[in-house]
Amino acid sequence: MSAARILLARGLCALALAGSASVARAADIEASTVDATENSQAQEAQPPAEAGDSQAQSQSGKWQFATIGYVWFAGAEGSTDVIGPVEPVGLDLSFGDVLKAFKFAFMGAAEAQRDRFVVLGDLTFIHLEAKHGIDIRNQDFLDAELDSRTAEVTLLGGYRVANKGPVTVDLLAGGRMNFLKISLQLDGPNRSADGAVTENWFDPLVAARINAPLGGKWSLALYGDIGGLGMGSDLTWQGNATVNYQLNHKMTLGAGWRHFKVNYDHGDFLYNVAQSGPIVTFRTAF
């Protein structure tokens, strides 16, 4: 074999070896690229949901609080018996009469929620000194003066039975402590009479609350409770409906109507009174 042929053969072998090495390197690069892509896809497939679930669980496990201040423009109607031997007097106090008799009042509520568990509290204290709107049924008397201090403290706990969708429904149970201190002075041309009573009692309650959107920043809130049933009051119940407007993510303004009835009869004392009127609320979330 000539020297030229030997050199040509060696050159072809070198080219073949170089080509094999290049193909091998290309295959390695392609394999590593595929592995990197698969690893990247596997990492992307790793549940970011786990982090999200953890964050959602953390948020859902927190207590959320809100306070509700309100003004209730209520009148009062019914009857009360403070002086045992004397017939009960009737009450027909318009809000104007209540405003004239007004001495002091405090009204406020609060709520707490964790997941689907709900706690509601409410406190009302009203002090009145009324000379008008009192129906004297005994003709021996012409003038009456009523001094009334009433307080109700309500505490309820319950569960949000409807939590998915725009409408929420809470079912609750608990009780209300009632504190009354009432004095009555009756005067007539020939005789006078007076009496004072202090009564405290507890009413077990069941309640429901519904919240529904009305569109945009508007919503409707409905609340009602009933209780007593002879274990405190003969019967007590209330209903509250407000239309609310969300001022921002923390504050909501509401307006509506509230009716509250108590029928309590113990010994010579009778307190059968319904309070009703418009209500304005201001809710702040924390």
Work out the pLDDT band at 11, boundaries 50, 70, 90.
very low
Q: How many CB atoms lie within 10 A of CB 207?
A: 20
Helix (H) or strand (E) holding 207: strand 192-215
As a whole number, the mean pLDDT across the chain is 84
pLDDT in tens, 139-187: 899 999 999 999 999 999 999 999 988 999 999 999 999 999 999 999 9
Which residue is associated with the tokens 């204290």? Answer: 125
The whole-number average pLDDT for the span 2-25 is: 37
Q: Please tell me the predicted confidence (pLDDT) of residue 268.
A: 87
Work out the pLDDT band at 60, boundaries 50, 70, 90.
low
* 219 within 8 A of 246, measured Cβ to Cβ: yes
* Listed residue (46, 45, 90, 271) closest to 180, CA to CA: 271
Q: How many residues does the chain have?
A: 286
Q: What is the sign, positive or negative, of the torsion defined by CA atoms of 18, 20, 21, 22?
A: positive
Q: Whole-prediction pTM value?
A: 0.78
Q: Please tell me the predicted confidence (pLDDT) of residue 97.
A: 94
